[in-house]
Amino acid sequence: MARLSWLGAFSCGGLLWAQIGAAARARATEIALQEAATSSFDWNSFLWKIVWIETIAIIFLSIRLVQLVVRYTGYDPFADWDRDKVNMRLWLAVGLGGIALALWSGFKYASNFLPEAASAHGHAIDNLKNFTLSFTYPAFILVHLLLFYMIWRYYHGRSGGAVYELTHHGLERAVLIAITIPVLIIATWGIWVWSSPVHGQVAQANQRTVEFEAVAEQFQWRVRYPGPDGKLGRYHYKLIGGENVLGLDFTDPRAQDDILPPVKEIHLPVGAQVTIQVRSKDVLHSLYLPHFRTHVYAVPGQPNQVKFVPLYTTKEMRRKLRDPEFDYELACNQLCGGAHYNMRMKVVVETWEEYQQWLSQFKPAYTPPSSVASHKKTQTL
């Protein structure tokens, strides 16, 4: 009886609701067509609003209907559900499905990961990363499988009562050892890798060295290459102003030949040891060269320095990745304000000759004092 009335109520309610819905849709279409004929009324978005309201109303009314039917008939369609069994099955379905999804999507999106490191120390970092991944990914899956097994095997419907077990020294010891070994390996390896590129990256015999300066400001990068003397000149932040965007101190002869290429590009010679002096004019920024696995903050008042060796030219990398559009990029990766997302600079790695040729087309930023009055300003400061 209860079951019948439940069915009856549900089907009546369903029919009624379908009627109301159809009528509302018809009326809405009518209005919309009228409006469309007479004015520029956006009947498309109007219809969408109706659909949304209807969907929400259907959800709430259905819940209410179920509640009312349960209350007045006393029949509860879910009363026979075994809570533990249903949830146990959901855990297995969601859990195993989730692991499968993680594996599938991992392979699918691996092509979007950063490509092979384009710097010498980047390979050491990637090797460590891959080793860590080869430990954490199986651990992620195995520990989850263990968890799902416990749920499947010992849920209330199958367990037949818990066992009063306080601890098990062997197991605890096994876990302790199982976690300590990877911790020791990864820590040792990590410290070794960290110490080699940062402390010990010494230029090899006959290796060319290049040093330049990258200066961050809201919201762009500026680069300063040393002139023929190979040295960057002095600067002071109080000298910034007018044309002297980096605050160079032109009383220093080393600064007089420095070059500020007026393009949004950094050029690097392949195989040379590159040293970047990083500083900031205003707030924290960071020099992020993801393809070179190089990253350091640009701190106002604290010049930082970072070294690496680019291994592949842009052309080689394009060929490797089969992507003729590929470019190395420099990004800011420390929040610096509204346009933080837009501090891009293209990085071009090329042969030594191409690099020399590129650099030679620019004139030094300094103009001799006789021609420009701004020098006076520099002098007084």
Partner 1 sequence: MSAHHITTAEASLHTSESHHTHHHESFWTKYIFSQDHKTIAKQFLLTGFISGFIGILLSGIFRLQLAFPDKSFPFLETILGKWAPEGRLDPNFYMALVTMHGTILVFWLLTGGLSGTFANLLIPLQLGARDMASPFINMLSFHFFFWGTVVLMASFFVGTGPAGAGWTVYPPLSALPQAMPGSGLGMILWIIALVLFVVGVLMGGLNYITTVLNMRTKGMSPFRMPLVVWALFTVAVLGLLSFPPAVAAFVLLLFDHSLGTSFYLSDIYIAGQALPQQGGNVLLYLHLFWFLGHPEVYIVLLPALGITSELISTHARKPIFGYKVMVISILGIAFVSFIVWAHHMFVTGMNPLLGSIFTATTLLVAIPSAMKIFNYIFTLWKGDIHLNTPMLFGIGTVSFFISGGLTGFFLGVAPTDIPLHNTYFVVGHFHLVMGVSAVFAMFGGTYHWFPRLWGRMMNERLGYIHFWLTFVGANLVFFPMYYMGFGGVPRRYYAFTEFSFTSKWQDLNVFMTTAALITIAAQLIFIYNFFHSMFWGKPAPQNPWKATTLEWSAPVKHIHGNWPGNLPTVYRWPYDYSKPGAPVDFIPQYISDEDIARGVRWWEEDFDPSTVIDRREDTGGETAAVSVEPKPVPALSPNQKPPAPEA
Q: Does 151 bind partner 1 (CB under 8 A)?
A: yes
Pick the closer one to partner 1 by CB: 37 or 78.
78
> Do 311 and 118 meet the contact criterion of CB atoms below 8 Å apart?
yes
Least Å distance, CB 182 to partner 1, is: 8
Tell me if 91 contacts partner 1 by CB under 8 A: yes
Would you give the end-to-end CA distance of the chain in angstroms?
98
CA distance 277 to 265: 16
Q: Which residues on adjacent β-strands are paired with residue 269? A: 350
48 is an interface residue for partner 1 by CB under 8 A:
no
Q: Which is nearer to partner 1, 154 or 362 (CB)?
A: 154
Q: What count of other Cβ atoms lies within 10 Å of the Cβ of residue 47?
A: 15
Binding residue (CB under 8 A) for partner 1 from 48, 52, 72, 135: 135
Binding to partner 1 in span 270-289, by CB under 8 A? 278, 281-284, 286, 288
125 touches partner 1 by CB under 8 A: yes
User: Which residue in 25, 123, 156, 231 binds partner 1 (CB under 8 A)?
Assistant: 156
| Cα–Cα distance, 122 to 88 (Å, whole number) | 45
Subset of 178-237 contacting partner 1 (CB under 8 A): 178-180, 182-183, 186-187, 190-191, 193-195, 197-199, 217-218, 237
- Which helix (H) or strand (E) segment holds residue 222: the answer is strand 220-224
Q: Give whole-number Cα distances, 138 to 128, 131, 152, 185, 308, in Å.
A: 16, 11, 21, 17, 33
Q: Per CB under 8 A, which of residues 11..30 are in contact with partner 1?
A: none
Among 342, 351, 356, 357, binds partner 1 (CB under 8 A): 342
Return the residues of window 353-372 that contact partner 1 according to CB under 8 A: none
Q: Which residues of 151-175 are buried (b: 16+ CB within 10 A; e: fewer)?
A: beeebeeeeeeeeeeeeeeeeeeee
Residue 92: burial class (beta carbons within 10 Å; 0-12, 13-18, 19+): middle
Which DSSP letter does residue 203 get? P
Among 226, 227, 233, 247, binds partner 1 (CB under 8 A): 247
Q: By CB under 8 A, is residue 375 in contact with partner 1?
A: no
Burial class (CB in 10 A: 0-12, 13-18, 19+), 260: buried
Interface residue with partner 1, options 7, 31, 46, 84 (CB under 8 A): 84
Looking at residues 158 to 177 of the shown chain, list those that interact with partner 1 (rule: CB under 8 A). 159-168, 171-172, 175-176
Of 50, 336, 347, 365, the one binding partner 1 (CB under 8 A) is: 336
